[in-house]
């Protein structure tokens, strides 16, 4: 497989050096693998820290900045960061108002963030946590106990980040983050496998004429494989799978997320079909975001995430944000 890299062993470090050069508003510690907004710690503000394996960009480093995360910890490709990274990040952003850890539900992430929380508290940092587990496709997958954390991570980081930017206290920021997660559901579809730099070949076998319904962001299997379907058929299956699990009474935020190798031409066409299904099901849409936000290296495919919102959550979603991967209102 052709890749725009030097050697597999330095992929993450090379990317972090490039990120530092492109975004001087961030402090990128390449050696210790921590990305911090340059003005941290902000007096009186709750710090937000997240992280996970690399390969899902712009998640999480691309969401560090005003209105979202205070810091992010990138691990190796598809590998959890280690507790030392998380403790270093928490110390860098703690203003005395506490730090919220936003953790996707993958076994390594959960264990390492739990250990980091204990270590940070030993250093006098108040820590709260929220677990993101929005994927309705399967339970107890290759990487998880329970449901996987996927696209809703963006909604949690944006809305909790806006609340923290307003100076809301740690308990309230945590409660909002949990509310967003509880109100969110996701479903992903793969049209091709992804390729990790270390392996250099597809991580799983997906024949050309088939697709995986309910795939995870590391290529974990979903509900079933089928012969290739049209965009309309995929939207019907994906949105109906979500709505079988949630029954929104309020308008929803919609994320149509590319997995890394699907062009916007296709994603916008897929969004049209997603909107059609929601209209047919009587679900009002408050806002829609289309693009590559929670990726899986070079996987072709897409995921759909819905989040039911009230007026306060929508206000926080609309609040200004300025990060490498998401920005408006500033």
- State how far the Cα of 132 lies from the Cα of 154, in Å rounded to an integer: 10
User: Would residue 60 show up in a list of annotated catalytic residues for this protein?
Assistant: no
| Cis-peptide, bond into residue 41, ω within 30° of zero | yes
Buried b (16+ CB within 10 A) or exposed e, 278-313: beeeebeebeebbbbbbbbbbbbbbbbbbbbbeeeb
Cβ–Cβ contacts within 10 Å for residue 89, how many? Answer: 33
Whether the CB-CB separation of 302 and 188 falls below 8 Å is answered with yes
- Measured distance CA(170)–CA(156) in Å, rounded: 14
In DSSP terms, which residues pair with 213 in a beta bridge?
A: 189, 224
Instruction: Please give the sequence-ordered ranges of beta strands (E in DSSP) within the chain, or none if there are none.
Output: 26-29, 34-37, 47-54, 71-77, 99-104, 127-132, 184-190, 210-213, 224-227, 252-258, 285-291, 301-308, 321-322, 327-328
Q: CA 168 to CA 170: how far, in whole Å?
A: 7
Q: Does residue 308 sit in helix, strand or coil? A: strand
| CA distances in angstroms from 40 to 53, 123, 292, listed in the order given | 23, 18, 27
CA–CA separation, 255 vs 66, rounded Å? 21
Query: Cα separation of 19 and 73, whole Å?
Result: 14
State the CB neighbour count (10 A cutoff) for residue 198: 12
Structure tokens at 322: 């300025």
56 is catalytic: yes
Q: Which residues are catalytic?
A: 56, 218
């Amino acid at each position: 497989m052709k890749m725009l890299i030097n050697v597999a062993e330095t992929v993450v470090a090379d990317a972090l050096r490039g990120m530092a050069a492109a975004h001087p508003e961030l402090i990128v510690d390449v050696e210790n693998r921590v990305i911090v907004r340059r003005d941290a710690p902000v007096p009186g503000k709750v710090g937000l820290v997240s992280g996970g394996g690399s390969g899902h960009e712009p998640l999480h480093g691309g969401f560090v900045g005003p209105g979202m995360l205070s810091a992010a910890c990138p691990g190796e490709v598809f590998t959890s960061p280690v507790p030392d990274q998380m403790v270093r990040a928490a110390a860098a952003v703690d203003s005395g108002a506490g730090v919220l850890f936003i953790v996707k539900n993958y076994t390594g992430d959960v264990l390492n963030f739990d250990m980091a929380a204990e270590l940070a508290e030993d250093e006098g940092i108040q820590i709260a946590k929220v677990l993101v587990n929005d994927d309705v496709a399967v339970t107890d997958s290759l990487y998880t106990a329970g449901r996987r954390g996927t696209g809703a991570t963006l909604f949690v980081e944006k809305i909790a980040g806006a609340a923290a930017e307003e100076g809301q206290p740690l308990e309230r920021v945590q409660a909002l983050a949990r509310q967003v997660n509880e109100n969110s559901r996701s479903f992903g579809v793969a049209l091709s496998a992804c390729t990790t730099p270390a392996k250099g070949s597809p991580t799983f076998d997906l024949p050309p004429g088939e697709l995986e319904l309910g795939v995870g962001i590391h290529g974990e299997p979903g509900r079933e494989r089928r012969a290739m379907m049209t965009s309309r058929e995929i939207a019907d299956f994906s949105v109906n799978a979500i709505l079988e699990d949630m029954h929104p009474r309020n308008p929803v935020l919609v994320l149509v997320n590319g997995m890394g190798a699907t062009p916007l031409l296709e994603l916008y066409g897929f969004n049209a079909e997603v909107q059609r299904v929601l209209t047919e099901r009587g679900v009002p849409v408050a806002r829609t975001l289309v693009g590559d936000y929670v990726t899986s290296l070079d996987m072709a495919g897409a995921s759909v995430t819905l989040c039911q919102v009230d007026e306060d959550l929508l206000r926080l979603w609309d609040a200004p944000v300025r990060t490498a991967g998401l920005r408006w209102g500033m």
